[in-house]
Structure 1
Amino acid sequence: MTTTLVANAHAVDASGETEGFWMLLDGDRIAATGSAADRTCPLEAPGRHHDGRDGLGGALPAADTVVDLGGARLTPGLVDLHSHGGGGASHDGGPDEIERGLALHRSHGTTRSLVSLVANPIDRLRGSIEAIAELRRRDPLVLGAHLEGPFLAPHRKGAHAEQHLAVPSPENVDALLGAAPGTVRQITLAPELPGGLDAVGRIVAAGAVVAIGHTEADHALAVAAFDRGATMMTHAFNAIAGIGHREPGPVVAAISDERVTIELILDGVHVHPEVVRMVFASAPGRVALITDAMSAAGSADGDYLLGELAVTVTDGVAVLSGTDTIAGSTLTQDAALRLALSAAGQTPVSAVEALTLTPARAIGEADRLGLLAPGYVADAVAWTDDWHVSRVWAAGRELTDGR
């Protein structure tokens, strides 16, 4: 397998910051890491030799290709648990459109993604799940499917077609989970729907994650759903009750529960940066910054579709046409990172964690995604001084324009 040595970097991940960092990529994994402070290379693989490279710090392993980053920042590849498209393509539009949307986000540093689907008839969702399963077989960067619909409260439906909403009956749940077993990784659910709490346990038992969202749930019901096994909250503060001083609401239930990961859309529109700052402080290590991007991400203002619903994008803000209802975002994760550092006042370590290790942990992938460490996937992003994407590696291969 081809080996690549990425060296002379300023590494930033959830474990901290390291100057003079290097890592050896062997195939699709990180084989070894070290820094200029190391006296010797920590790993010598059979059949390899070490050679010193002045200016890169310490003894370094040999590799087929050496990339000297010149002190630039290096982070793990970003992980997005909630995205509906980008680059003019919708994830509800089939494999070709999914690939186009993913390429846009990969060019912005997102190396691993769940493919999110809006509410549609059960049979149509089954077809979409099967298509994602096929795409996943040939593209390891696709983590699986996230069903944002159809198990949503009608009065909190947001940009989902009400006629396609459904109750989480055992038959409906099993039909979706059984479409391509193991493909559905996350389901958003309103626990007040008939059979909602029982569905939480059924979904979790099948190996998928339940996120509470698009719901009228109060604090008590959210606590009950988390006790049944729900471990995420879909885009907190949006399509869900806020925080009240007498009825604290579901967001407080999520913040108070160490088992729960809280999605936030940090685009300056969905949640005020000061509220984002508050959630980071209240739930350290449990905030996952997601895009909830629709097809207009990376594209011009204009008219688009989200599922079957018409969407108008003006100044980068997407709303259902003729209304003020927000319809997803035009966000990319690199922009969310910059806002986390500036408007939300996070440290580089905290901001990067919210885009890497925390989302990976939320879906049970923290043993292989989200760190620059031996044994982890060879996904990484090099950044300019002002935190714009410079280079992207995914599964050990450097990407060009997201491909």
Structure 2
Amino acid sequence: MRYTKFTNCHLLDNGITYYNTDLYVDNHTGKITGNPQDTSNTNTVDLDGNFLAPGLIDIQNNGFFGHNFSNLNAGSTPEQIEMFKRFYEDVMTKFLETGVTSVCPTVTSNFPEVYTKVLPLYKRSRSNDKCDSLGAHCEGPFISLIKKGCHPTETFVDAKEGSSKLDQVYGADNLLENVCIVTAAPEIDGVLDVIPYLRSKNVIYSIGHTNADYETGLKAVENGCTMITHLYNAMPQPHHRDAGVLGLINNPITDNTPYFGIICDGIHVDPSMAAMAYKSHPDKCVLVTDAIFLFGLPDGTYRWDSRNVVKDGFKLMLEGTKTLAGSGTSLIQCVRNVIRWTDISLAEAVKAATNNPAKSLGIESEKGFLNEGCDADLVVLNNRAFIQSIYKLGRHIKVNDHNQPAKLISSL
């Protein structure tokens, strides 16, 4: 059939529920379309009164189902790189079943030879059977030693040499073709000065892993910063007379409020603090998972480079420390959590995992919305935000929203 008509459903878009509204997909292009003049060549899908939303977008995700997006090195052979690539494609197929239709594969602080090998794999993609890459999120290595989190300090560098240092670390071609976001601390020497260079390459600059004060954060915004990485985590905590970077999400000085990622797993951020941030600026809130390769694996102790990580439910900790090592929570569970914590509607929560991330990356004409011309990446939700069906460019995909409410509530 040329077209698919989704009917007996309510559309979730722009934070609004459009009740009893049909949606058409052009199966030749994989895009959302208006009502066709000739409906004789149309397949009708009855959604049984459920909610139809854009596919979820995760802009900070370090890996899943055993695959670490950073796991190549200088000694990796062509055969190992090819195996890594096949594993990457396999887990991107599997991850699509969780309702995330697009992701920014996130590479944590590393050496130039690692970026040389992994970043070309994360070039933007468009597929009907796997989660798309939107380009890599390079989290580091231009970050603060004080707010290092679990990043390896031996990789840290400054940007005193200007844009040439970014080209040296990431590769000039990678910045132009394969990178979507760079997270860096604005107080590191040279970082403030290279923000315009990143923007000239259509790369989003995000403040993160920083010990910067409010004034330095404002300078970064003035220079082109449009995002903050995992709000509250790896940054100074706010004080009523010293707001720090967090004060940027609702400041009275600039109209250019940055988007802010926030990990709503109930572990990285207390529910009350997540609710406060969301209500400060709902249009700029972007739900992220910060998942690592242990997502989808059984509980236990796992080797991560030279360290051990202990997985206990959704909590992932560096062994023998109080340092969080990422998250094991799905993005749709973050949606369910923010509904409970903020008492907002399903449509408003979905916006923070679809519309907002799309706008933060400047791809709202392609993904993250139910507008004509957008990719038909879709999720069907019930009224409790559990996924019933997934469609990738209009093609039906099986569902793996495996979390059970009772288990989730007891673990948070």
- Picking from 134, 137, 142, the partner of 2:133 is 142
TM-score (norm 1): 0.88
- Picking from 30, 53, 61, the partner of 1:28 is 30
The CA deviation at 1:308 is 5.0
Counterpart amino acid of residue 333 in structure 1: L
Of stretches 179-188 and 137-146 in structure 1, the one that deviates more from structure 2 is 137-146
- Alpha-carbon RMSD across the aligned residues, in angstroms, is 2.0
8 A Cα contact 2:289 2:327, kept in partner? yes
1:269 paired residue number: 267
Counterpart amino acid of residue 99 in structure 2: G
For structure 2, which runs of at least 5 residues remain unmatched after alignment? 72-83, 401-412
Task: Confirm or deny that 1:44 pairs with 2:36.
Answer: yes
- Picking from 119, 126, 132, the partner of 2:109 is 119
DSSP 3-state at the match of 1:337: helix
Distance in 1, matches of 2:278 and 2:218, equals: 20
1:39 paired residue number: none
For structure 1, which runs of at least 5 residues remain unmatched after alignment? 33-42, 50-60
Task: Confirm or deny that 1:183 pairs with 2:178.
Answer: yes
8 A Cα contact 1:95 1:132, kept in partner? no
DSSP 3-state at the match of 1:252: helix
Counterpart amino acid of residue 155 in structure 2: H
8 A Cα contact 1:24 1:63, kept in partner? no
Of stretches 247-256 and 235-244 in structure 1, the one that deviates more from structure 2 is 247-256
1:57-90 deviation per Cα after TM superposition (whole angstroms, max 9, x unaligned):
xxxx344422100101111101110001112222
The CA deviation at 1:167 is 1.7
DSSP 3-state at the match of 2:137: strand
The CA deviation at 1:229 is 0.5
1:54 paired residue number: none
8 A Cα contact 1:85 1:294, kept in partner? yes
What pairs up with 1:285-300 in 2 under 5 angstroms?
Answer: 285-300=283-298
Distance in 1, matches of 2:131 and 2:313, equals: 34
Counterpart amino acid of residue 119 in structure 1: S
Task: Confirm or deny that 1:167 pairs with 2:165.
Answer: no
2:209 paired residue number: 214
Task: Confirm or deny that 1:106 pairs with 2:96.
Answer: yes
What pairs up with 1:1-400 in 2 under 5 angstroms?
Answer: 2-26=2-26, 27-32=29-34, 43-45=35-37, 49=38, 61-93=39-71, 94-133=84-123, 136=125, 141-168=132-159, 169=161, 170-175=163-168, 176-180=170-174, 181-256=176-251, 257=254, 258-306=256-304, 309-400=307-398
Of stretches 73-82 and 139-148 in structure 1, the one that deviates more from structure 2 is 139-148
The CA deviation at 1:204 is 1.2
1:334-368 deviation per Cα after TM superposition (whole angstroms, max 9, x unaligned):
10011011123222222111000100011111122
Percent identical across equivalent pairs?
27
2:409 paired residue number: none
8 A Cα contact 1:159 1:309, kept in partner? no
Q: Residue 267 and residue 231 in structure 1: after superposition, are their counterparts in 2 closer, same or farther (change >3 A)? A: same
8 A Cα contact 1:104 1:401, kept in partner? no
The CA deviation at 1:2 is 4.1
DSSP 3-state at the match of 1:328: strand
The CA deviation at 1:28 is 1.3
Counterpart amino acid of residue 191 in structure 1: P
Q: Residue 394 and residue 137 in structure 1: after superposition, are their counterparts in 2 closer, same or farther (change >3 A)? A: closer
Distance in 2, matches of 1:280 and 1:272, equals: 12
The CA deviation at 1:104 is 4.0
Counterpart amino acid of residue 43 in structure 2: T
DSSP 3-state at the match of 1:294: coil
1:58 paired residue number: none
Of stretches 353-362 and 365-374 in structure 1, the one that deviates more from structure 2 is 365-374
Of stretches 99-108 and 334-343 in structure 1, the one that deviates more from structure 2 is 99-108
The CA deviation at 1:244 is 0.7
**Aligned residue pairs, count:** 377
DSSP 3-state at the match of 2:45: strand
Distance in 1, matches of 2:40 and 2:274, equals: 44
Q: Residue 86 and residue 338 in structure 1: after superposition, are their counterparts in 2 closer, same or farther (change >3 A)? A: same
TM-score (norm 2): 0.86
The CA deviation at 1:109 is 0.9
The CA deviation at 1:321 is 1.5
Of stretches 280-289 and 161-170 in structure 1, the one that deviates more from structure 2 is 161-170
8 A Cα contact 1:303 1:312, kept in partner? yes
The CA deviation at 1:246 is 1.8
The CA deviation at 1:16 is 1.1
Counterpart amino acid of residue 127 in structure 1: K
Distance in 2, matches of 1:311 and 1:370, equals: 33
Counterpart amino acid of residue 234 in structure 2: A
The CA deviation at 1:276 is 1.3
Q: Residue 305 and residue 363 in structure 1: after superposition, are their counterparts in 2 closer, same or farther (change >3 A)? A: farther
Q: Residue 148 and residue 306 in structure 1: after superposition, are their counterparts in 2 closer, same or farther (change >3 A)? A: farther
8 A Cα contact 1:217 1:249, kept in partner? yes
Distance in 2, matches of 1:359 and 1:15, equals: 13
DSSP 3-state at the match of 2:246: helix
Of stretches 380-389 and 143-152 in structure 1, the one that deviates more from structure 2 is 380-389
Q: Residue 346 and residue 137 in structure 1: after superposition, are their counterparts in 2 closer, same or farther (change >3 A)? A: closer
DSSP 3-state at the match of 2:283: coil
Distance in 1, matches of 2:158 and 2:2, equals: 50
8 A Cα contact 2:142 2:158, kept in partner? yes
